[in-house]
Structure 1
Amino acid sequence: MSIFAVEGNQFVFNGEPVRLISGAIHYFRIVPEYWRDRLMKLKACGFNTVETYVPWNLHEPNEGQFNFEGIADIVKFIETAGELGLHVIVRPSPYICAEWEFGGMPAWLLADPGMKLRCFHQPFLDKIDAYYDVLMPKLVPLLCTNGGPIIAMQIENEYGSYGNDTQYLEYLKEGKIKRGIDVLLFTSDGPGDFMLQGGMVPDVLETVNFGSRPKEAFAELRIYQPEGPIMCMEYWNGWFDHWFEKHHTRDAADVARVFDEMLSMNASVNFYMFHGGTNFGFWSGANDDGDKYMPTITSYDYDVPVSECGDVTDKFYAVREVVSKYVDLGPLELPEPIAKKAYGQVNMTQQASLFDSLDKLSTPVQRTCPDPMELLGQNYGFILYTTRISGPREETPLRLQYVHDRAQIFVDGEYKGVVERWNKDAEPITFSIPPEGVTLSVLVENMGRTNYGPYLRDVKGITEGIRFGAQFLYHWTIHTLPMEDLSKLEYTTAAAKSDGKPTFYKGTFEVDETADTFLELKGWNKGVAYINGFNLGRYWETVGPQKTLYIPGPLLRKGENELVLFELHGAKEPVVTLRDSAILG
């Protein structure tokens, strides 16, 4: 049994003063085979602690169905950290932000139109309780008070940036305690008055999150918390990227300088991130400031000490040098480098049209209105709405009220254009209708639910209705397309030239030795990639900044491997390249 506690203005571990030098590594953004490698690099940098969020939606993807296997095996991740002698900080808030889909909350919460989020709303609390009843018993044996590596746990995440419901925060605190959580509890907020006022809980340690000006941030904290250790729970030494943006970078010398300044103040520090990893599948989130929706890319490289594929960077060495001023580190010992390989070109020799494959992917439902995904029991992926419009009608604009997030419009199978949530000033799609009428199809992509700010309630698909001119259109055939299982698709030989419609492409390649590789999609447009059935995430080659998708070696197998692309707009030619380095810029 060990005790981690607060005594005066310092942390103590088993009665001895300790300063936490911590780094965020998210188990859910890394294939499990690489957890040890990333944790060893954290320790080699001189850090003594690893911090991780816990995404509720990963562990309870459907209500009452829990997942703690594979990439979701949080127990194994924490045990691995403990085997390496690392302390562990766990942040199992119902909400985590983290640029993660819906801030970690499960999409099925939104199936209840009356659900209130992140407040003392009993239906919301009941869902949290059911989740905690399963999660917390897995964490209790791993607490330091029970001989494990977990030294501290967060109550909620940056709550003061969102609300001021202290009754809700107290409920979460008591919920952890009554389930056997007896380690140090804490909150974390930005260093602003309203943030600290809204996010603090009496008799609970408050920490602050920032990327610069530590003296100012800690001075603000001291106004509200005159005593206790000072800690930056999120030192933003890098940043994340949205589609359409340039890749964010921060100078390593500047990161080291601010870090050194914090250590000179006897502060504890948690790097957010130390190693970012990847938003595999449909797990990337989005930001929405009320004026513009901004979806996050698949890579979570974050420009931090260890890159998306596990390489140590210049920032790693700069940070380690700072640590060495305060801790005797000894010689640098890194694990063996992970091999990377360029497997070359892969010919995507087979194809299957989405519209010809609907019966293999979905069972249609009939609805009066074009209901959003959540009301149909769908969490992620795409959704297709189809109806008839009578004719004749003159040239008229089609209005999607409102689309979340990106819709492709087809009239009698002919592509008419795209409607994007973030492009509100775009010219409307217009068309006329002959006397016999037309079939209208609207394919909507969920680009990730908002993960931060006041617009968290982010239902997907068509949120209100679809109009042709002033007239709402009713009676829809709806295909939910979560894209979780593509095994029933029937392929034919790929055409030499794409027809520009949503199509699945399949190719195979041989591997003698498995290694990390990077999927380059030059000449393609936008879609989703799968390797041996595993969803690598979204690509959007035409907008960037991400031009490759990272494929960890453990996802490959010796012999034949299968690559599937769901391409929304078509490619110049059905060929991709597997290279040995990323393109992110």
Structure 2
Amino acid sequence: MPDFEIGESEFLLDGRPFRILSGALHYFRVHPGSWADRIEKARLMGLNTIETYVPWNAHSPRRGVFGTDGMLDLERFLRLVAEAGMYAIVRPGPYICAEWDNGGLPAWLFQQPGVGVRRNEPRFMAAIEEYLQQVLRIVRPLQIDQGGPVLLVQVENEYGAFGDDQAYLKSLVEIIRQAGIAVPLVTVDQPTAEMLEAGGLDGVLRTASFGSRSTERLRTLREHQPSGPLMCMEFWDGWFDHWGGPHHTTSVEETAAELDTLLASGASVNVYMFHGGTNFGLTSGANDKGSYRPTITSYDYDAPLDEAGNPTPKYEAFREVISRYAPVPPAVASSAAPAPEYSVPLGEPVRLLANPGSWGVWSDHEAMPTLDVLGARLALFRTDLDAEGPALLTVGEVRDRATVFLDGDPVGVLDRERQDRAIMLPRGSGRLEIVVEDQGRVNYGSRIGEPKGLIGPVQLGSAVLSNWSACVIDLDEVPRLWGSTTATGPGVGPIAWRGSFDVDEPTDHFLQTSGWGKGVAWVNGFCLGRYWRRGPQQTLFVPGPVVRAGANELVVLELDVLADPMARFVAGPSLGPVEL
């Protein structure tokens, strides 16, 4: 079997120098029907390795569960990498950042008060060990010394930007080794002295993450990694977007020149991202550095392959740079034809407030429960008021968006980004209903693991409100609403709409959302993700494997107001302006 090890200054494959030319491709952000296509396009660009994170919270939505079906079939993904004649790097975290909800850490981890976050705390470590044993059971037989593609496994992720608990990192190494992982281990940190020291371990290869000033940053890495190969584990070739911000792009020429500088130094590289894909469902994360900013659904990242897997000018530029240092296949990757364009009327609107019982399960609570306690991403809360005159409704903190109704009529919205905490009700009596939405958990920094919902007391004037009923809105069941209820007419959301469309053969589609408000969309029960009129993203990507020859169903859950009940499919993506 092949042997892979860390040499004095280079990686060694069967004793010979080997440069890793890798690209980040997250299996959980790409439909499985497209995995082989994306892997082959990586090979044609000149890459020899595919890197992926592993999202703990996606595999384990509940403790004791570890799902591997569909988009979570890591074993199948790694075997496809091997079938393409490529190698693999696996980065299981447990924390991955990745602009992914909660940085990959399951929300259930933090139900117990005082549980550790990325530190050597017994309850946190016990859960991590359960998780790593599950994921590494998949990776173990796919290591290179057993005939598989896996060359490297990463320990944690940019830990030096968060903490300096060496006991925690050492415990992770011990768990990984005890799980049968024999390939070399690595850490990754931003190339500053403080982060490389705090996030690294002696005996584990340090790597760095950066997208510019390669010579300087490799020099810093070498100061803290005196021997062994130099590697940029995340060569940032683009960036991600937030709702309400611009669409980020980077210069093709400048990024290609930086890659050339990096490869000319002899370093190995992992291009982050080679193909970003999509935050399908409700998987996108958020940042909060004093102001909460949720990440959009697209993870296009301005990468060499765009969100739909088509080569961009950056792909061709990178391929040319790589050809100066390694053989590049003569075949070239091709782009798909423009997507079909047509319109589909939406009808049969079903309003949540008209019949909440058909949307989920009710429970009663003396005090306002968090979304975490309910296991919800979207919920309706209800209580009855009995006060005189107009009244001020206040909340300790909104995480992340609350739409307030009184006797079924909309009053307004409390939004976390605006740091809203109060709204005036026209009267102090009647039925108060609040729809609360989790817009994505913070994936970087000190707010990882925080609870969601209406935090702190909910008050009417100086009185704390009690006797709440809560309805968890089961988003998986929204496409099946019409079997349990009847259409009730439009209004302020949440309102579910549906339409149908026919195709001769399955192909990628782009659903234009610019005429809608804020919500979530599904095609044939597959959740495409969130949309929001504030942009920058104005289309949702519909993977071809989701579409069926013949009849297809589109379902839209509008949380605000859908002024134009028409769905329009367009020829290509619209990710918004690069400047605002």
- The alignment's TM-score, normalised by the length of structure 2, stands at 0.97
Match of 1:561 among 552, 571, 575: 552
Q: Deviation string for 1:481-526 (max 9, x for gaps)?
A: 241222244464575xx42232000111111111101111232100
State the one-letter code of the partner of 1:449: R
Matches within 5 A, 1:316-395: 316-334=315-333, 337-376=335-374, 378=375, 380-392=376-388, 394-395=389-390
What residue is the counterpart of 2:109 in the other structure? Answer: 109
What residue is the counterpart of 1:308 in the other structure? Answer: 307
1:99–1:451 contact (8 Å) kept in structure 2: yes
RMSD in angstroms over aligned alpha carbons?
1.5
Mean Cα displacement is larger for which, 57-66 or 237-246? 57-66
Mean Cα displacement is larger for which, 499-508 or 75-84? 499-508
* Gap regions ≥5 residues in structure 1: none
* Gap regions ≥5 residues in structure 2: none
1:415–1:501 contact (8 Å) kept in structure 2: no
Deviation (angstroms), 1:193:
2.0
1:371–1:464 contact (8 Å) kept in structure 2: no
- Is 1:10 matched up with 2:10? yes
Q: Deviation string for 1:166-220 (max 9, x for gaps)?
A: 1010011010101100001000000112211210112100000011111221121
Mean Cα displacement is larger for which, 295-304 or 56-65? 56-65
What residue is the counterpart of 2:418 in the other structure? Answer: 423
Q: State the alpha-carbon separation in 2 of the partners of residues 352 and 387 from structure 1.
A: 22
What residue is the counterpart of 1:450 in the other structure? Answer: 442
Q: Deviation string for 1:297-345 (max 9, x for gaps)?
A: 00000001000001100000111111111123252332x6445432411
Q: State the alpha-carbon separation in 2 of the partners of residues 342 and 429 from structure 1.
A: 45
SS at match of 2:196: helix
Q: State the alpha-carbon separation in 2 of the partners of residues 114 and 388 from structure 1.
A: 34
Matches within 5 A, 1:130-169: 130-169=130-169
Q: State the alpha-carbon separation in 1 of the partners of residues 155 and 425 from structure 2.
A: 53
Aligned-pair identity in percent equals 41
1:340–1:515 contact (8 Å) kept in structure 2: no
Matches within 5 A, 1:164-175: 164-175=164-175
What residue is the counterpart of 2:75 in the other structure? Answer: 75
SS at match of 1:255: helix
Mean Cα displacement is larger for which, 161-170 or 220-229? 220-229
State the one-letter code of the partner of 2:358: K
State the one-letter code of the partner of 2:342: G
Q: State the alpha-carbon separation in 2 of the partners of residues 145 and 368 from structure 1.
A: 58
Aligned length in residues: 574
What residue is the counterpart of 1:293 in the other structure? Answer: 292
Q: State the alpha-carbon separation in 2 of the partners of residues 573 and 285 from structure 1.
A: 29
Deviation (angstroms), 1:432:
3.9
Q: Deviation string for 1:265-314 (max 9, x for gaps)?
A: 1011111100000000000000011x101100000000010000011000
1:516–1:580 contact (8 Å) kept in structure 2: no
Q: State the alpha-carbon separation in 1 of the partners of residues 327 and 19 from structure 2.
A: 14
Check 1:494–1:387 CA distance in 2 against 1; reply closer, same or farther (3 A cut): closer
Check 1:172–1:503 CA distance in 2 against 1; reply closer, same or farther (3 A cut): same
What residue is the counterpart of 2:563 in the other structure? Answer: 572
- Is 1:465 matched up with 2:457? yes
Deviation (angstroms), 1:403:
1.1
Q: Deviation string for 1:124-183 (max 9, x for gaps)?
A: 111111122222111111000111000000011000100111101001101010110000
What residue is the counterpart of 2:93 in the other structure? Answer: 93
Q: State the alpha-carbon separation in 1 of the partners of residues 548 and 329 from structure 2.
A: 38
1:368–1:476 contact (8 Å) kept in structure 2: yes
State the one-letter code of the partner of 1:235: F
State the one-letter code of the partner of 2:242: H
Deviation (angstroms), 1:6:
1.1
Q: State the alpha-carbon separation in 1 of the partners of residues 24 and 449 from structure 2.
A: 27
SS at match of 2:443: strand
1:349–1:494 contact (8 Å) kept in structure 2: no
Q: State the alpha-carbon separation in 1 of the partners of residues 302 and 355 from structure 2.
A: 40
1:526–1:567 contact (8 Å) kept in structure 2: yes
Check 1:185–1:156 CA distance in 2 against 1; reply closer, same or farther (3 A cut): same
Mean Cα displacement is larger for which, 142-151 or 520-529? 520-529
1:370–1:462 contact (8 Å) kept in structure 2: yes
Deviation (angstroms), 1:452:
0.6
Deviation (angstroms), 1:395:
2.8
State the one-letter code of the partner of 2:411: K
- The alignment's TM-score, normalised by the length of structure 1, stands at 0.96
SS at match of 2:71: helix
State the one-letter code of the partner of 1:566: L
State the one-letter code of the partner of 2:304: P
Q: State the alpha-carbon separation in 2 of the partners of residues 167 and 33 from structure 1.
A: 41
Mean Cα displacement is larger for which, 253-262 or 61-70? 61-70
SS at match of 1:309: coil
Mean Cα displacement is larger for which, 16-25 or 571-580? 571-580
Matches within 5 A, 1:187-198: 187-198=187-198
What residue is the counterpart of 2:23 in the other structure? Answer: 23
Q: State the alpha-carbon separation in 1 of the partners of residues 56 and 233 from structure 2.
A: 20
What residue is the counterpart of 2:534 in the other structure? Answer: 543
- Is 1:528 matched up with 2:520? yes
State the one-letter code of the partner of 1:515: T
